[in-house]
């Protein structure tokens, strides 16, 4: 179970042991409609699962996005969680070690800028992950995702985004910060996290993400969830 989030970073954001321990609580209190986002991500993704293929979660953290796929599809598929943070890797491995189908799950250390599994996948998840990757690598990563997917497979992308204009972005950010305050974060906690994430979490506009998905060959791309400055897309390979 996740600890209550009292993380006060003293430098650039890191997914260290303190963040890992409080991560689930942090997301619950920081992402608008977090539970709804998790649910609809799975419900959309499950429609594209093909037996005998691999389901991949890029930046799997503690394994929460991968877990419902393992629980529902079990031995019909293999599952790979890619993660760069050692504490997150340990937490995810511990989670799936206790699962009845944990033998089908591989939690793999990976730097997405340079590596991707050479398997055939039917669903690839990227839930609040690509935003932490330098912009110059994102097209390359999405190309690798596209090449990994079987025909009819889907890429599920959930990201923090910028508003289409500075005026709208300011409005969305103000409302987002109000939600964090309502969920118990102090001004000091909000400011410290914001400063630590500058240059580490780099959002782009929804249009930028959609254009990139089309450029890499996905035949249909649509937004399945959005709340303020967070959005989720499904991109299907022909």
What pLDDT, on the 0 to 100 scale, is given for residue 11?
Answer: 86
What pLDDT, on the 0 to 100 scale, is given for residue 30?
Answer: 92
**pTM to 2 decimal places:** 0.95
* Cα separations in angstroms, 182 against 32, 109, 169: 11, 36, 20
Residue with the two structure tokens 């093909």: 50
What pLDDT, on the 0 to 100 scale, is given for residue 10?
Answer: 78
E strand spans, 70-229: 78-83, 105-109, 121-127, 149-162, 204-205, 220-227
Q: What's the average pLDDT block by block, 10 residues per block, for the chain (238 residues)?
A: 71 91 91 95 98 98 97 98 98 97 98 97 98 96 98 98 97 95 92 92 97 96 97 98
What pLDDT, on the 0 to 100 scale, is given for residue 124?
Answer: 98
What pLDDT, on the 0 to 100 scale, is given for residue 6?
Answer: 74
Q: Is 17-236 in CATH node 3.40.50.150?
A: yes
φ and ψ of 216, to 5 deg: -85, 5
Residue 79: strand pairing partners: 55, 105
What pLDDT, on the 0 to 100 scale, is given for residue 2?
Answer: 56
What pLDDT, on the 0 to 100 scale, is given for residue 52?
Answer: 98
């Amino acid at each position: 179970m996740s600890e209550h989030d009292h993380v006060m970073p003293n430098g650039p954001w890191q997914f260290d042991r303190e963040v890992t321990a409080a991560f689930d609580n942090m997301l619950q209190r920081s992402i608008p409609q977090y539970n709804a986002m998790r649910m609809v991500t799975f419900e959309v993704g499950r429609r594209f699962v093909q037996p005998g293929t691999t389901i991949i979660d890029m930046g799997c953290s503690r394994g929460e996005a991968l877990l419902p796929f393992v629980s529902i599809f079990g031995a019909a598929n293999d599952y790979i969680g890619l993660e760069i943070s050692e504490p997150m890797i340990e937490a995810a491995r511990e989670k799936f070690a206790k699962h009845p189908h944990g033998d089908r799950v591989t939690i793999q250390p990976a730097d997405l800028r340079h590596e991707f599994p050479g398997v055939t996948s039917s669903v690839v998840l990227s839930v609040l992950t690509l935003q932490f990757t330098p912009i110059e690598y994102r097209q390359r990563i999405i190309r690798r995702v596209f090449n990994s997917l079987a025909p009819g497979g889907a890429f599920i992308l959930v990201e923090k985004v910028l508003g289409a204009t500075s005026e709208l972005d300011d409005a969305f950010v103000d409302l987002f910060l109000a939600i964090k305050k309502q969920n118990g974060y102090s001004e000091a906690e909000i400011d410290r996290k914001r400063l630590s994430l500058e240059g580490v979490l780099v959002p782009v506009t929804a249009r930028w993400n959609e254009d990139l998905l089309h450029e890499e060959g996905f035949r249909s791309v649509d937004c399945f969830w959005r709340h303020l400055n967070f959005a989720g897309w499904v991109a299907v390979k022909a």
